[in-house]
Amino acid sequence: MLSATNYWMIFAGLVFLAAGLFTYRKELGAARGVEKLVALAAVFIAVSLAVFAPEHFRGPQYVQDSVPAWMPVRWFWKYFVGCALLAAATSLTARKFQRLSSILLGLMFFLFVGMIYIPSAIANAHDRLAWAFLLRDLSFCAGAWSLAAVYNRSAAPRLSKWFAVFARAVITIAAIVYGVLEILHPAFAPGVPLETPMPSWVPFAGAWGYGAGAILLVAGIALAVNKKPRLAAGSIGALMTLLTIFPFLAMVILAFKGSPDDVSDGINNLADTLLYAGSALALSSALPRDSAR
């Protein structure tokens, strides 16, 4: 069963995916191997932002759940963020004003971390989910600023360098922490380690967490010690792309038989994983090419 919001989330995602594949078709055609995925970084980010946007046009309950109580004019911010997500998705897909939109998108996620997730992590220091949420949005910030590093290479090389340094540090920490959490809690669906259980119908359900955790740990350590960092970031992106397709896409399809909330949760998990994939792939594009042996 689908709600109107579910329909709009799915519609927005499909429209931006089709448009993104069209506008980045030359880069896709010229790329080889994992570089094809790297070329899709901006597309993955734009699709995820477009999927998230319709939720911000829901009723007042969304404000109560997500906007800090001390914010003035609380009803306004959900609409503002929804419009900002659509604007950033459109900019990245149409390839217009990308320097500005990538910087502002990263700033928005950075503010989410500072205003929502750091206070939550401090108040719930022993809750793994609080830290997972913090690193999730900080990784999204890193992904946006990785794109900003790419788009500013010629116009502002010093700024581009610092965006890439920040993004690499964040993705490194997140990959290592997420890898440990995946291994410690393999019963939950891999990717961004939240509270969604791995469905029993998934083949070898218990092994997915260990496998994903191991890949994240190895890639995170490789980023930390500067061992083929571009390939390491690309590997994280490839893993998250795979997890987006299976099991999360399959989970969304099967959730159609449940309630609209089940569908919303499934779509959000899918978009979270795809956005994390895009963020890691964007970092790969911002790093210098690994030297050949």
Q: What is the pLDDT of residue 170?
A: 98
The structural domains of the chain, with segments of one domain joined by +, span 4-286
DSSP class of residue 115 equals: I
Owner of token pair 């309950």: 61
> 289 is written with which tokens?
């090419």
- What type of residue sits at position 169? A
- What does the mean pLDDT of the chain come to? 94
Which has more confidence, 293 or 25?
25
Q: What is the pLDDT of residue 206?
A: 86
Q: Say what the alpha-carbon torsion angle 149, 150, 155, 157 is, to the nearest 10 degrees.
A: 50
| Backbone dihedral region for residue 226 (phi beyond 0: left; psi -120 to 50: alpha; all else: beta) | left
Listed residue (57, 62, 275) closest to 174, CA to CA = 275
Q: What is the pLDDT of residues 107-127, one digit of tens each?
A: 999 999 999 999 999 999 999
Average pLDDT rounded to a whole number, residues 170-195: 96
Asked if residues 93 and 87 have their Cβ atoms less than 8 Å apart, the reply is no
What is the distance between the alpha carbons of residues 226 and 224, in angstroms, rounded to a whole number?
Answer: 6
Q: What is the pLDDT of residue 68?
A: 83
Q: What is the pLDDT of residue 66?
A: 74
Q: What is the pLDDT of residue 289?
A: 83
Average pLDDT rounded to a whole number, residues 255-275: 95
